[in-house]
Amino acid sequence: MATHHLHTQHQRSFESNRFVYPVLSRRSNGISVGVNLNPDKVCNFDCIYCQVDRTTTSETRFVEFDQLLDELRSVLETVASGAIYAHEKFRDVPAELRRLNDIAFSGDGEPTTYKNFDELMAACADVKAALGLDDVKLVLITNASMFHRPHVQRGLEVLDANNGEIWAKLEAGTEEYYKLIERTVIPFRQILDNITAAAKLRPLVIQALFMRVGGEPPSQAELEAFCERLDEITRAGGKLKLVQVYTVARKPAESYVGALADEEVDAIVDLVKRRTKLSARAYYGTSGY
């Protein structure tokens, strides 16, 4: 009885976490432990497809370093032990997905804007190592806007040394389309240069979300330009190990944004493979929100 009581407490604890949360991830083929470095919802992009609700403010404004590490340790133990599958949200996870794949840094904004990014990467890597989870990846999901900053570069080096993987956002071929989708003052060229520089040091995963804007999918010319940007990166010596092509799966920030059909996603994957000779994989949206 006492054990059951403790287990119930443990379940409740991750639901009340402020920084760390387990999710079943379609792109990870397993459980991904998310770490939110932007509880204040501040981001240097304002993407038209973003699923973060910025109409409300978060009760948590700042990352509390020690609490984040405590939450991370607790969630990793819960997932690695299998105790998570007794929880109602994870009870129906199929056997082949009952695996801890990664710790993913993303959240409600751009994680590399966190001022102590390098220190936090090192501390999270230490937690992972202390639990003996060497096979678990550290995944950074990023818009690559801050890769030129020294403390961010140090953080990327921590990822390199701890089974890390960088998923860099690139979802436009032209400056015009980039500005339409991302709504940021950061120049497209800075993103391209940052991705290229980082990919020269380690292989990167590119994440590319394409969508309908006002009912229209991206033009063929835009998709061709996107492939040319990928080619520019590889011609400059950048290594790209996978291009993830996906579409809107949850309610986006703007009502004029919609999901592509599965066959449209497949067509972009085929184009990327044919034009760039890179590996590419499709991830589909849902029929409704």
pLDDT at 212 over 80: yes
The mean pLDDT of 198-224, rounded to a whole number, is 97
Residue 45 pLDDT class (50, 70, 90 cuts)? confident
Specify the pairing of strand 212-213 against strand 257-258: antiparallel
Asked whether the predicted pLDDT for residue 284 surpasses 50, the reply is yes
- The DSSP secondary structure of 225-275, one letter per residue, reads HHHHHHHHHHHTT--EEEEEEE---S--SSTTEEPPPHHHHHHHHHHHHHH
Could you tell me the residue range of the domain that residue 57 belongs to?
1-163
Residue 7 reports pLDDT greater than 70:
no
Q: Which is more confident, 126 or 4?
A: 126
∠ Cα 245 249 254 (to 5°):
105
Q: Does an H or E element contain 141, and which? A: strand 137-142
| Last residue in a domain, options 135, 163, 191 | 163
Does 159 lie in the same domain as 195? no
Q: Are residues 98 and 29 both part of a single domain? A: yes
Considering 107-111, 182-186, 212-216, the range whose residues carry the highest mean pLDDT is 212-216
Measured distance CA(268)–CA(280) in Å, rounded: 9
Quick one: 82 and 158 in the same domain?
yes
Reported as a single tens digit per residue, the pLDDT across 9-22 is 344 467 888 899 99
Considering the domain architecture, whether residues 140 and 212 belong to the same structural domain is answered as no
Q: What is the pLDDT of residue 55?
A: 61
Out of 163, 186, 220, pick the residue that ends a domain. 163
212 and 289, same domain (yes or no): yes
Residue where one domain finishes, among candidates 163, 195, 220: 163
Residues 179 and 158 in one domain: no
Computed over every residue of the chain, the mean pLDDT equals 89
Question: Lowest-pLDDT range, 44-53, 88-97, 216-225, 228-237?
Answer: 44-53
CATH number of the domain that residue 251 is part of: 3.20.20.70
Q: Quick one: 272 and 136 in the same domain? A: no
- The one-character DSSP state at 216 is B
**Do 92 and 64 reside in the same domain of the chain?**
yes
